[in-house]
Amino acid sequence: MPIEISEKTVKRDFIEKISKLSGQDVYKCYQCGTCGGACPMSDHMDAVPRKIMRMAQFGMEEAVTGSKTFWTCASCHSCSVNCPRGIDLARVMEAIRLLTLRKNLNMVEVSGLPAETVEELPQIALVSCFRKLTS
Ligand code: SF4
Ligand code: SF4
């Protein structure tokens, strides 16, 4: 399906917020795809990191924040150390996650976790999950 890209659709404030929070310039990305090749989680992402960068360049806020990729990101920095443009993509993912959490949109609903899951998982895993995936 064709995607309309125009002055009306490009959310510049979204691009600026990513840039401010991450300290990275998304326009430096030239779409080589090295990040996705280096990413241990890319098979589990609904949009590979390169695609997230492309959508971010066009200020496609709904498409970026509607993706699950930034939740799936393990913050391992493999993409960042391999990017030929020196972009710290892990920080971009983190910025998108923070912007989403600030809207009170959580990836995990704590009250919805089954009791047996809470029982089984190590406490540190739960704390880490709540810190990363809930606002
Ligand atoms: S490795 Fe860097 S330049 Fe290449 S697609 Fe990923 S973010 Fe863009
Ligand atoms: S930081 Fe995230 S996007 Fe980058 S390689 Fe690791 S899991 Fe993939």
Ligand 1 pocket, residue 15 CB under 6 Å: no
Closest CA to 53 of 36, 40, 37, 38: 36
Question: What does the pLDDT average to over 34-40?
Answer: 97
Residue 33 has pLDDT above 90, yes or no: yes
Residue 132 has pLDDT above 90, yes or no: no
| Residue 86 pLDDT class (50, 70, 90 cuts) | very high
- Rounded distance between C-alpha atoms, residue 71 and residue 75, angstroms: 10
pLDDT for residue 129 = 86
Q: Which of ligand 2's atoms lies nearest the C-alpha of 90?
A: 1
Place of tokens 């972009």: 87
pLDDT for residue 2 = 77
- How confident is the prediction for the chain on average, in pLDDT? 93
Are the C-beta atoms of residues 100 and 133 closer than 8 Å to each other?
Answer: no
- Rounded distance between C-alpha atoms, residue 17 and residue 79, angstroms: 21
- Round to the nearest angstrom and report the end-to-end CA distance of the chain: 33
Between these two residues, 133 and 22, which has the higher pLDDT value? 22
Q: Which residues line ligand 2 (CB under 6 A)?
A: 38-39, 41, 49, 73-79, 89-90, 93
pLDDT for residue 107 = 85
35 C-alpha to ligand 1 centroid (Å):
5
